[in-house]
């Protein structure tokens, strides 16, 4: 199994979890082999299932060489807004199953179009959204006759490690035009706008979140027949959220084209507050709709009371497990709402110390 971008934060988490959760041989790939050897020095050595190799996604020959003898590859390099599609193209040509953790809508759209007739399974956006919230949304709406809206949310703890690529991805949508799903179609709004609360179980509680650009909202909207699908992010420290929302105004007024070039500076500033807050993390779906002619609402959440920053790699690791054991017979793009059974997800969460909470569908006042 090949993990490209293994030197990044989520790449390192992937490698560690794949070694602990599977029996596969894992190849950690990136542009700097010396850095990879230093990162995984305690995992390397005679008899180890881990090895390292050089892959530069801008150099197709290194991608081709790394895929030799590989059955599954995972793209974890970022930010995805700037990545070429060399890993996908090489994987499809060699008929290697493909997974990525892309958080960029345009990147995922290209993958879906290119993989429409692929001979191998292709899982793009296999992180929080759309892969994880897709499964939570399926559970939340299973008793509905009609789904009208899906409010999706993530609540990271303030002690979450912030890699440069993660901060850059966040800033890419601040104040910029993004797409949400409203009235059964894609609608353009401003990124990091329209704050709204989401109620999580303890110890997270109520979090106010802001709209951000993510892949899969249109896919989930069409899958569940929802008129509205929106995704918000709400950090643990309120004034940091307000600060980021304030950064959106210069972009909207075209004073600043984008804050992405300032990702390093913002990352340093955020690190100053890193000792405050907790490592709690949560993801949630609140669904509204109708059942037996009445309005209903249901909420499903996943809460990690510690190490919440590891939640984003769970879908890719579990998808890799399915591909390795041959339990995924489908080819082409895999549906984000129907790739893992609820009982299997429960077991996966229990192994990691996460809690899945399902609030039963309750009647709401149609007025």
Domain residue extents for the chain:
2-124, 129-309+345-363
Rg (CA), the chain: 20
Which DSSP helix (H) or strand (E) runs through 73? strand 72-75
**Cα dihedral 302, 303, 308, 313 in deg (nearest 10):** -10
Q: Give me the pLDDT at residue 74, please.
A: 98
Q: Give me the pLDDT at residue 155, please.
A: 94
Q: Give me the pLDDT at residue 366, please.
A: 60
Q: Give me the pLDDT at residue 207, please.
A: 94
Q: Give me the pLDDT at residue 319, please.
A: 97
**Cα dihedral 154, 156, 161, 167 in deg (nearest 10):** 50
Q: CATH fold of 129-309+345-363, please?
A: Dihydrodipicolinate Reductase; domain 2 (3.30.360)
Q: Give me the pLDDT at residue 84, please.
A: 94
Give the residues of the chain that fall short of pLDDT 70: 159-165, 266-267, 269-275, 360-361, 365-367
CATH number for the 2-124 domain, one of 2.60.120.460, 2.160.10.10, 3.40.47.40, 3.40.50.720? 3.40.50.720
**Cα dihedral 34, 40, 42, 44 in deg (nearest 10):** -80
Q: Give me the pLDDT at residue 240, please.
A: 81
Cβ atoms within 10 Å, residue 185:
10
Gap between the Cα atoms of 107 and 133, Å rounded: 19
Give CA separation, 205 vs 149, 201, 245, 286, 357, in Å.
Answer: 22, 6, 21, 14, 13
Q: Give me the pLDDT at residue 161, please.
A: 59
Q: Give me the pLDDT at residue 273, please.
A: 62
Q: Are strands 146-155 and 228-233 parallel, antiparallel or unpaired?
A: parallel
Q: Where do we find the tokens 């303030």?
A: 158
Q: Give me the pLDDT at residue 164, please.
A: 64
Gap between the Cα atoms of 96 and 121, Å rounded: 8
Q: Give me the pLDDT at residue 44, please.
A: 87
Q: Give me the pLDDT at residue 239, please.
A: 78
């Amino acid at each position: 199994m090949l993990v490209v971008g293994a030197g990044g934060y989520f790449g390192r988490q992937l490698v560690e979890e794949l070694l602990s959760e599977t029996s596969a041989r894992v190849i950690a790939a990136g542009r700097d082999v010396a850095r990879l050897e230093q990162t995984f020095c305690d995992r390397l050595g005679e008899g180890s299932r881990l090895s390292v190799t050089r892959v530069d996604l801008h150099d197709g020959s290194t991608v081709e060489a790394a895929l030799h003898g590989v059955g599954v590859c995972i793209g974890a390099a970022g930010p995805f807004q700037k990545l070429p599609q060399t890993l996908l193209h090489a994987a499809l040509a060699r008929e290697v199953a493909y997974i990525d953790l892309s958080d960029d809508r345009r990147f995922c759209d290209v993958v879906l179009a290119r993989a429409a007739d692929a001979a191998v399974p292709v899982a793009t956006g296999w992180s929080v959204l759309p892969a994880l919230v897709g499964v939570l949304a399926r559970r939340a709406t299973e008793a509905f006759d009609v789904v009208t809206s899906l409010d999706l949310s993530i609540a990271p703890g303030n002690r979450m490690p912030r890699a440069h690529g993660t901060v850059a991805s966040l800033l890419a949508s601040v104040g910029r035009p993004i797409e949400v799903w409203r009235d059964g179609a894609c609608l353009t709004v401003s990124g990091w706008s329209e704050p709204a609360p989401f109620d999580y179980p303890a110890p997270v509680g109520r979090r106010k979140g802001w709209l951000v650009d993510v892949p899969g909202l249109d896919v989930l909207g069409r899958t569940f027949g929802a008129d509205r699908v929106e995704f918000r992010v709400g950090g643990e420290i309120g004034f940091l959220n307000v600060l980021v929302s304030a950064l959106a105004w210069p972009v909207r007024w075209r004073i600043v084209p984008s804050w992405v070039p300032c990702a390093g500076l913002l990352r340093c500033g955020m690190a100053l507050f890193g000792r405050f807050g907790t490592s709690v993390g949560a993801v949630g779906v609140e669904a509204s709709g109708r059942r037996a002619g009445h309005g209903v609402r249901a909420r499903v959440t996943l809460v990690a009371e510690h190490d919440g920053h590891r939640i984003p790699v769970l879908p890719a690791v579990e998808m890799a497990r399915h591909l390795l054991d041959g339990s995924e017979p489908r080819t082409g793009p895999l549906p984000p709402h129907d790739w893992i059974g609820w009982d299997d997800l429960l077991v996966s969460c229990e192994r990691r110390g996460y809690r899945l909470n399902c609030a039963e569908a309750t009647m709401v006042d149609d007025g």
